[in-house]
Amino acid sequence: METYSKKLRPIDNQSETIDVHMKMYLLNINNFDELTGELGLCVAFNISWKDEKLTWKSKSKNNTKSLLFEPGDIWHPNIFIRESYSRTQTVTNISAWIRVFEDGSVFWTLGAVISVTCSVDVTYFPFDTQTCTMTFTTMDFNVDELALHANLPVDTTYMTKNSQWVLEDASLTETKLFDAAPSSLVLQLNLKRKAEFFVVYIIVPIVFLGALNNLVFLMPYNSGERNSVAITTFLSFVVYLPIINDSMPKSSAPIAYVYYYVMFLLIYSSLTMFLCIISMRIYDKTGKVPDVLQFYINLLKFKWLTEKLRQRRGARKHSNVIQVRSFGEDVNPMSDTRTTDRENSATETIKTEVFESEKEITWIDAGKIFDLYAMITNMIVYWIYTIVTFSCLYANIGLAETIT
């Protein structure tokens, strides 16, 4: 050790490259702040290299096969994290002892709590998957002097489960940032958010509240509670909005699709309240319904179809009466009386149906048709938008991709 210099790379030929192997153990995800992009990890490293200056024969050294050194006593690589959050973090600046074997093999096992920056994409919240990358490199030596190698795979055997995130994949790969760049290793983590809490706390309530909003058209028009229920539902969305906002990450680039869905619910609720006001105005009208409007109401009621069904039913009943009379000619007078009664009853039924078909349409009829089609249209639009939105969120695809 008298001639050993920790300032020189531990190889006999200084023109050669020293190989440093690095294995990573992921122990815990401490925190993930989606607003600031700070990701806190608890990790461990197993770093190894060959020190040609530290070799001996165990037989001549009392059968000593390995020795422990403090990091300040021998040469070791200085590895730092490029994506450090608040300050530059050096993962090898730790007072963990280094073990050196008789053949010069060096093994250094150390642990660290690191904070790195991660770009957060909340587009598909709460079914989003975040990809975080961090680069381990050295600035002391170029790629011809020191080469970092990854010992695959990243070990997650001792990892503690996180209550908010699931680690889907972790990889440590060798990379070269640019031609003259030093050797680097890139750690990539794919983190999937646990969505159960947000589904129960946010999605299910607002979906059912939106579905309930459309049922105001089933309420009696003269009860006076339609507008009250519509306004109450709208205010429920407004009151629920701060709860949703507190539970969701705040980001403008990009904005989460859930915010667009909440905006759709507010517009949808306002439209429902507006339609309720129009409906009440229709019911309160007096006088004759214009002929043009009666034509369209009959069209919406499928009057042409009901007329054909009535004609077929009337023709069938009249045919049955004639058949009864023809088969009953040889029967006693009492049977003839019953046949006449059936004929009169069928005739009265046909007259009643004709009278009902020719009955003039009132404003109440117009209001009922308006309520029916307003409810059906709103319901179709609401459920299509809801199903498409949450299907895209769950599958992590955009609405434009779904349309195309």
Can you give the residue ranges of every domain in the chain?
18-194, 197-286+372-403, 291-361
Is the pLDDT assigned to residue 98 strictly greater than 90?
A: yes
Q: Answer yes or no: same fold for 18-194 and 197-286+372-403.
A: no
Least confident interval from 270-284, 296-310, 326-340, 358-372: 326-340
Region 335-355 average pLDDT: 48
The DSSP symbol for 218 reads G
Cβ atoms 173, 184 nearer than 8 A: no
Region 113-137 average pLDDT: 91
Region 59-85 average pLDDT: 88
Strand-strand pairing, 146-150 and 18-33: parallel
Is the pLDDT assigned to residue 101 strictly greater than 70?
A: yes
Distance CA 341, CA 273 (A): 53
- Over residues 214-229, the pLDDT tens digits come to 888 888 887 778 888 8
What is the share, in percent, of the chain residues with pLDDT greater than 70? 82
Is the pLDDT assigned to residue 85 strictly greater than 50?
A: yes
By CB atoms closer than 10 A (0-12, 13-18, 19+), residue 252 is exposed
More confident residue, 330 or 204: 204
- Over residues 156-173, the pLDDT tens digits come to 999 999 999 999 999 999
pLDDT at 129: 92
pLDDT at 351: 44
Region 189-197 average pLDDT: 93
More confident residue, 329 or 90: 90
Region 187-198 average pLDDT: 93
- For the segment(s) 197-286+372-403, the CATH number from 1.20.58, 1.10.540, 1.10.10, 1.25.40 is 1.20.58
Is the pLDDT assigned to residue 314 strictly greater than 70?
A: no
pLDDT at 218: 87
- For the segment(s) 18-194, the CATH number from 2.60.40.1930, 3.10.20.30, 2.40.50.90, 2.70.170.10 is 2.70.170.10
Sheet holding 98-101, edge to edge: 66-69, 98-101, 105-117, 38-50, 18-33, 146-150
Chain mean pLDDT for the chain: 82
pLDDT band of 328, cuts 50, 70, 90 = very low
Region 83-90 average pLDDT: 85
pLDDT band of 313, cuts 50, 70, 90 = low
Q: For residue 104, what are the contacts with CB-CB under 8 A and spacing of at least 6?
A: 10, 50, 51, 52, 53, 54, 55
pLDDT band of 402, cuts 50, 70, 90 = low
For helices 291-300 and 303-327, the axis angle rounded to 10 degrees is: 70
pLDDT band of 354, cuts 50, 70, 90 = very low
Is 0.85 topped by the overall pTM? no
Is the pLDDT assigned to residue 47 strictly greater than 60?
A: yes
Least confident interval from 140-154, 285-299, 353-367, 381-395: 353-367
Q: How far is CA 140 from CA 76, 93, 393, in A?
A: 11, 14, 45
3-state SS class at 116: strand
pLDDT at 305: 53
Is the pLDDT assigned to residue 346 strictly greater than 50?
A: no
What is the share, in percent, of the chain residues with pLDDT greater than 90? 37
What's the distance, CA 30 to chain centroid? 23
Distance CA 243, CA 8 (A): 60
